[in-house]
Amino acid sequence: MKTPINNADVPLIFSHGEKGRGGVSKKQRREKLFDANDIRLLMLSVLETRPAHGYELIKAIEDRSGGEYAPSPGIIYPNLTLMEEMGYIDAAENSGGKKAYRLADAGRGFLHEQRETLVRADARLHGLAVLANNRAIPEIERAIHEFRVALNRRLAREDVSPETLHTIIASLERAAREIEKS
């Protein structure tokens, strides 16, 4: 086990947007929920309902996740170019100079072939929306806040012994198991 750090200035519990396990941000962990094929399928499924610009695709996918996941422009725009080259989508410039994309027959066929994969990706987006909704319950927010404050206060003290760390870890693991069972 690592030796406790005795520096109260070091953030021990990360908050939204900061680095967590292994130096990976929450956003990066969410992006790993969806591989390139998932993203393309989600994009095609939006285009199945209506033509859209790149930004509209980002917002439509974000809406499906309850605001918990928004693919970056660096993911969306290269995939639009690729899918246009593959013949899955067609682009037309509108009066504002933006490209509006629509689903082509080849894209419709690919979407049909990959329907099960799309259903799984949509289920992950829905799961993020459910998580966001449940996490926003005031009592849950309060309990999480109290947990973080208590843990930060205790770990920020210089008298954290290995025995204390073992006790804290055991308590956290026990609480996690109880939550999973509930």
Instruction: Give the residue, 136 or 100, on which the prediction is more confident.
Output: 100
Is residue 13 very low, low, confident or very high in pLDDT (cuts 50, 70, 90)? Answer: very low
* DSSP 8-state secondary structure symbol assigned to residue 19: B
Please tell me the least confidently modeled range out of 8-22, 37-51, 100-114.
8-22
Q: For the chain, give the longest Cα–Cα distance.
A: 68
For residue 19, what pLDDT is reported?
A: 47
Domains and CATH numbers, the chain: 26-135 (1.10.10.10), 138-181 (no CATH)
Residue 117's pLDDT band, with cuts at 50, 70 and 90, is very high
| 20 has a pLDDT exceeding 70 | no
95 pLDDT tier (thresholds 50, 70, 90): low
Average pLDDT of the chain, as a whole number: 84
Confidence of residue 134 (pLDDT cuts 50, 70, 90): confident
pLDDT level of residue 14 (50, 70, 90 thresholds):
very low
**Does the structure show a pLDDT above 70 at 18?**
no
**100, 90, 102, 17: which is closest to 55 by C-alpha?**
100
Q: What percent of the chain has pLDDT over 90?
A: 66
Model confidence over 38-93: pLDDT tens digits? 999 999 999 999 999 999 999 999 999 999 999 999 999 999 999 999 999 999 87
Contacts of 94 (CB under 8 A, 6+ apart): 100
Q: 160 Cβ partners below 8 Å, 6+ apart?
A: 4, 6, 154
Rounded mean pLDDT of 105-120? 97
CB 19 within 8 A of CB 25: yes
| Alpha helices per DSSP H over the chain | 26-31, 36-49, 54-64, 73-85, 105-113, 115-135, 138-156, 162-181
